A and B are shown apart, each in its own frame.
Chain A
Amino acid sequence: MRSIRGWRTGLGAAALAAALLLGVGLVWAQTLKVSQSNQQFYPEPNFASNPVGPAPVGAHVKVLETKGDWYRVEYQGKKAWLHRQAVPESPVFVPGQVGGGPVKQVKSDEVALAGKGFTAEVESGYRQKNPGLNYAQVDQIEAFRVDPGRLQSFIKEGGLNP
């Protein structure tokens, strides 16, 4: 059976389910492994904030809280936000399964597949089908960082508007 596991107690499941239904971020001691390359930790649960550091593939992060597609995690003693796409194998909870008995889990990409047409999973299939495409350099472009302080100096030096 694929990734379907029961929670250890019905009480815990009910509490988690209630929190989920209320839209409250969950707090549980769970460790996730970063499996996607070129991922970053963020100070806020959005991509608009400047990354605070890279989330290397293979890193184990402790989940402190969830908010939408974001996990607040602890890594090497520091706390930051990590997007779900960094850990696509992580479990998510399926609404409609919380009425009684153990809460069922499915993989996050399975739920994403239901709600979205094109996902990391689809990209993976596309890449397998088209091995000649240069995704390595796409990742290189995305990984290129400009220090915010340096950008501000560049703008100021050129007499541009901050």
Chain B
Amino acid sequence: MRRIQGATIAALAGLILAWGCAGPEGSGPSLSGLTGLVPLPGAAQPAAAIVTKAGAKAVDASRPITPSEEYYIGRAVCARILAKYPLSQDQALTLYVNEVGRTVARKSNRPDPYRGYHFGVLETSEPNAFACPGGIILVTKGLVRKCADEDELAAVLAHEVAHIVNQDGINSISRARWSEVLTTAGAEAARQYGGVAGNLVTLFESSIDDVFKTIVVNGYSRGAEEAADREAISILTRAGYNPAALASLLGRMGSGGGGIMRTHPPTADRLAKVKSQSAAAQPGKMEEVRTKRFKEQKI
């Protein structure tokens, strides 16, 4: 048995070395960003070989986060948010939000994340929306109530989709943290290739903290918000919604306070940019029909 275990460990070590550069879900320089692997900040250049905690092997720590890893991070972030805000059990409203959300998500630059887009409604009057990495988007009843019509709800959801497209939540995880994850994964796999590595769970927890702080507590950077606005306007245009709906909603939001005012602050500068980007917009066809079905929702 000792010989078999030794051989298997050697094989795993080989896998680690082989996958350190390519990753099991794809390889090659084109598999990053929108079509595949998720790059981390500053991860474009080849990383120097680093020594594992076991001190035995050097592995390339430059492997980006894969879509499946992004998915598990997003599930954990979502679970934390749902520990704070209950999920609405209003099936009609959930269906409607999913229909609007999927209509815009399919027009984004990342229409098919690992397990697809899913939309949930949170049972709170606090206006806010959250983009969990990987494709789960949560919007509060309070924010849905702030919307005047379907196009404004589509604008909210398109903006959150844009955060997933741009991997803004995942980018909260520092490069140093991710290097440690890869190092630990390699060391644990080589040492005890069964069960869950305790250090990995701890690092997972820390990574979730990083993302949670960004999307729930502190908010994204101004640059990330503006990029998401630009992407949202493009999505709305491609989907056939009125892209000016984002500016009209932001204009009514005011400023200050908690919730979305803190995580997505609608500053005057931001509003001016959104207005200018959608200045030539014309109301889409059938806007009355969309407004009517929005008003029919019991929010």
Residues of chain A touching chain B, judged by Cβ–Cβ distance below 8 Å, are 1-4, 47-48, 69, 85, 94-97, 104, 106-107, 110-127, 129-130, 132-135, 137-138, 140-142, 144, 146, 150-151, 154-155, 157-161
Roughly how many angstroms separate A48 CA and B208 CA in the complex, as a whole number?
26
Residues of chain B touching chain A, judged by Cβ–Cβ distance below 8 Å, are 1, 4-5, 7-8, 10-12, 14-16, 19, 23-25, 65-66, 68-69, 72-73, 75-76, 78-80, 82-83, 86-87, 94-95, 98-99, 102-103, 107, 112, 114-116, 118-120, 136, 150, 178, 181-182, 184-186, 188-190, 193-198, 200-201, 203-205, 207-208, 238-241, 284-287, 289-290, 293
Interchain CB contact under 8 A, A122 and B78: no
25 pairs, CB–CB < 8 Å, chain A vs chain B = A69-B25, A94-B15, A95-B11, A97-B8, A112-B24, A116-B68, A117-B65, A117-B200, A120-B72, A122-B196, A125-B196, A125-B200, A125-B201, A126-B205, A133-B80, A135-B75, A137-B120, A138-B75, A141-B87, A141-B119, A144-B98, A144-B119, A146-B98, A159-B286, A161-B107
Roughly how many angstroms separate A158 CA and B185 CA in the complex, as a whole number?
49
> Distance in Å from the Cβ of B197 to the closest Cβ of chain A?
7
Interchain CB contact under 8 A, A104 and B185: no
Most buried by B among A94, A107, A115, A140: A115
Roughly how many angstroms separate A157 CA and B291 CA in the complex, as a whole number?
12
Roughly how many angstroms separate A106 CA and B190 CA in the complex, as a whole number?
13
Interchain CB contact under 8 A, B72 and A132: no
Roughly how many angstroms separate A138 CA and B112 CA in the complex, as a whole number?
19
> Distance in Å from the Cβ of A90 to the closest Cβ of chain B?
15
Count of A-B residue pairs with CB < 8 Å? 196
> Distance in Å from the Cβ of A32 to the closest Cβ of chain B?
19
> Distance in Å from the Cβ of B8 to the closest Cβ of chain A?
6
Interchain CB contact under 8 A, B14 and A95: yes
Interchain CB contact under 8 A, A96 and B11: yes
Interface of B is mostly: helix
Interchain CB contact under 8 A, A114 and B239: no
Closest to A139 in B: B75
Interchain CB contact under 8 A, A158 and B75: no
Report chain B residues within 8 Å CB of A122.
Answer: 72, 196-197, 200-201, 204
The 6 closest A-B CB pairs, nearest first, are: A159-B286, A159-B285, A134-B82, A114-B189, A160-B240, A125-B201
Roughly how many angstroms separate A96 CA and B18 CA in the complex, as a whole number?
12
> Distance in Å from the Cβ of B202 to the closest Cβ of chain A?
9
Roughly how many angstroms separate A159 CA and B103 CA in the complex, as a whole number?
12
Closest to A123 in B: B72
Roughly how many angstroms separate A158 CA and B242 CA in the complex, as a whole number?
12
Interchain CB contact under 8 A, B238 and A161: yes
Closest to A48 in B: B112
Closest to A85 in B: B68
Closest to A1 in B: B1
> Distance in Å from the Cβ of B11 to the closest Cβ of chain A?
4
Roughly how many angstroms separate A93 CA and B195 CA in the complex, as a whole number?
18
> Distance in Å from the Cβ of A116 to the closest Cβ of chain B?
6
Interchain CB contact under 8 A, B286 and A158: yes
> Distance in Å from the Cβ of A39 to the closest Cβ of chain B?
11
Which of B11, B72, B114, B118 contacts A94 (CB under 8 A)?
A: B11
**With known contacts A47-B112, A94-B8, A96-B10, A124–B24 Cβ distance under 8 A:** no
Closest to A142 in B: B118
Closest to A148 in B: B102
Closest to B79 in A: A133
Interchain CB contact under 8 A, B8 and A106: yes
**With known contacts A1-B4, A117-B200, A141-B120, A154–B103 Cβ distance under 8 A:** yes
